[in-house]
Amino acid sequence: MRRLMRPSALPAPRFRYTPVVRVGSLVFVSGLIGLDRMTGELATGGAAEETRQVLHNLLALCEAEKWSLRTLVFARVYCAGHESAAAVNDAWDEFFRNEPPPARSFVVVAGLPLGAAVEIEFQLVV
Protein backbone atom coordinates (compact mmCIF):
# COMPACT_ATOMS: atom_id res chain seq x y z
CA MET A 1 0.00 0.00 0.00
CA ARG A 2 1.19 3.49 -0.88
CA ARG A 3 1.65 5.88 2.05
CA LEU A 4 1.86 9.59 1.24
CA MET A 5 3.99 11.57 3.67
CA ARG A 6 4.35 15.29 4.32
CA PRO A 7 7.06 15.28 7.01
CA SER A 8 7.64 18.46 8.96
CA ALA A 9 11.39 17.75 8.77
CA LEU A 10 11.31 18.92 5.14
CA PRO A 11 10.51 22.38 3.79
CA ALA A 12 6.87 22.81 2.81
CA PRO A 13 6.27 22.10 -0.89
CA ARG A 14 5.99 25.16 -3.10
CA PHE A 15 4.08 23.26 -5.80
CA ARG A 16 1.51 20.44 -5.83
CA TYR A 17 3.34 17.18 -5.11
CA THR A 18 3.87 14.70 -2.31
CA PRO A 19 7.31 15.15 -0.73
CA VAL A 20 7.73 11.51 0.32
CA VAL A 21 5.98 8.32 -0.80
CA ARG A 22 6.50 5.02 0.98
CA VAL A 23 5.52 1.69 -0.52
CA GLY A 24 6.42 -1.16 1.80
CA SER A 25 10.11 -0.78 2.57
CA LEU A 26 10.75 1.54 -0.40
CA VAL A 27 10.85 5.30 0.20
CA PHE A 28 10.90 7.86 -2.61
CA VAL A 29 11.82 11.44 -1.73
CA SER A 30 10.79 14.04 -4.29
CA GLY A 31 13.44 16.35 -5.66
CA LEU A 32 14.71 18.66 -2.94
CA ILE A 33 16.25 22.03 -3.59
CA GLY A 34 18.25 23.85 -0.92
CA LEU A 35 15.35 25.43 0.96
CA ASP A 36 15.74 26.20 4.64
CA ARG A 37 12.89 24.44 6.46
CA MET A 38 12.35 27.30 8.89
CA THR A 39 12.46 30.27 6.50
CA GLY A 40 11.46 28.63 3.22
CA GLU A 41 14.29 30.55 1.55
CA LEU A 42 16.87 29.11 -0.81
CA ALA A 43 20.29 28.75 0.82
CA THR A 44 22.69 31.52 -0.16
CA GLY A 45 26.25 30.96 -1.27
CA GLY A 46 25.75 28.99 -4.47
CA ALA A 47 25.69 25.34 -5.43
CA ALA A 48 27.80 24.03 -2.54
CA GLU A 49 25.63 25.68 0.12
CA GLU A 50 22.43 24.56 -1.62
CA THR A 51 23.75 21.00 -1.77
CA ARG A 52 24.64 21.10 1.93
CA GLN A 53 21.12 22.33 2.70
CA VAL A 54 19.51 19.55 0.63
CA LEU A 55 21.63 16.94 2.40
CA HIS A 56 20.91 18.52 5.80
CA ASN A 57 17.18 18.30 4.99
CA LEU A 58 17.57 14.64 4.02
CA LEU A 59 19.39 13.95 7.29
CA ALA A 60 16.63 15.73 9.26
CA LEU A 61 14.04 13.56 7.49
CA CYS A 62 15.98 10.38 8.29
CA GLU A 63 16.37 11.37 11.93
CA ALA A 64 12.68 12.28 12.29
CA GLU A 65 11.57 8.97 10.74
CA LYS A 66 14.29 6.96 12.55
CA TRP A 67 15.86 5.90 9.25
CA SER A 68 19.58 5.53 8.72
CA LEU A 69 21.59 7.11 5.93
CA ARG A 70 22.84 3.56 5.34
CA THR A 71 19.38 2.79 3.93
CA LEU A 72 19.88 5.40 1.20
CA VAL A 73 20.33 3.43 -2.01
CA PHE A 74 20.07 5.97 -4.84
CA ALA A 75 20.21 9.70 -5.52
CA ARG A 76 19.58 11.58 -8.75
CA VAL A 77 21.32 14.95 -8.83
CA TYR A 78 20.18 17.71 -11.18
CA CYS A 79 22.70 20.50 -11.54
CA ALA A 80 21.94 23.80 -13.28
CA GLY A 81 25.02 24.18 -15.45
CA HIS A 82 28.41 22.51 -15.70
CA GLU A 83 30.07 25.32 -13.77
CA SER A 84 28.31 24.20 -10.55
CA ALA A 85 29.23 20.51 -10.82
CA ALA A 86 32.51 20.72 -8.90
CA ALA A 87 30.91 22.60 -6.00
CA VAL A 88 28.06 20.08 -5.82
CA ASN A 89 30.51 17.18 -5.83
CA ASP A 90 32.69 18.78 -3.13
CA ALA A 91 29.69 19.26 -0.81
CA TRP A 92 28.52 15.71 -1.60
CA ASP A 93 31.94 14.24 -0.76
CA GLU A 94 32.09 16.26 2.45
CA PHE A 95 28.67 14.96 3.57
CA PHE A 96 29.45 11.32 2.80
CA ARG A 97 32.98 11.42 4.21
CA ASN A 98 32.06 8.97 7.01
CA GLU A 99 29.14 7.19 5.33
CA PRO A 100 29.11 5.02 2.23
CA PRO A 101 27.47 7.11 -0.52
CA PRO A 102 24.51 5.73 -2.45
CA ALA A 103 24.44 4.92 -6.14
CA ARG A 104 23.96 8.20 -8.00
CA SER A 105 23.29 9.75 -11.35
CA PHE A 106 24.25 13.33 -12.17
CA VAL A 107 22.33 15.29 -14.78
CA VAL A 108 23.19 18.79 -15.98
CA VAL A 109 20.09 20.81 -16.85
CA ALA A 110 19.35 24.29 -18.17
CA GLY A 111 17.36 25.40 -15.11
CA LEU A 112 15.68 24.34 -11.87
CA PRO A 113 12.70 25.57 -9.81
CA LEU A 114 13.09 28.88 -8.01
CA GLY A 115 16.46 29.45 -9.68
CA ALA A 116 18.13 26.70 -7.65
CA ALA A 117 21.59 25.48 -8.63
CA VAL A 118 20.90 21.87 -7.55
CA GLU A 119 17.98 19.50 -6.96
CA ILE A 120 18.34 15.97 -5.62
CA GLU A 121 15.88 13.04 -5.53
CA PHE A 122 16.44 10.15 -3.11
CA GLN A 123 15.41 6.53 -2.78
CA LEU A 124 15.78 4.54 0.41
CA VAL A 125 15.01 1.01 1.54
CA VAL A 126 13.95 1.14 5.19
Task: Please give the DSSP secondary-structure letter assigned to residue 27.
Answer: E
Which domains are present in the chain? 28-125 (3.30.1330.40)
Integer angstrom CA distances of residue 120 from 1, 8, 24, 27, 81: 25, 18, 22, 14, 14
Mean residue pLDDT across the chain: 96
As a whole number, mean pLDDT of residues 94-109 equals: 96
Residue 125's H or E segment, with its range, is strand 118-125
* pLDDT over 90 (residue 90): yes
Residue 52's H or E segment, with its range, is helix 47-65
Going by C-beta distance under 8 Å and a sequence separation of 6 or more, which residues neighbour residue 126? 22, 25, 27, 65, 67, 71
* pLDDT over 90 (residue 56): yes
Q: pLDDT tens digits for 5-44?
A: 999 999 998 889 999 999 999 999 999 999 999 999 999 9
The pLDDT value recorded for residue 74 is 98
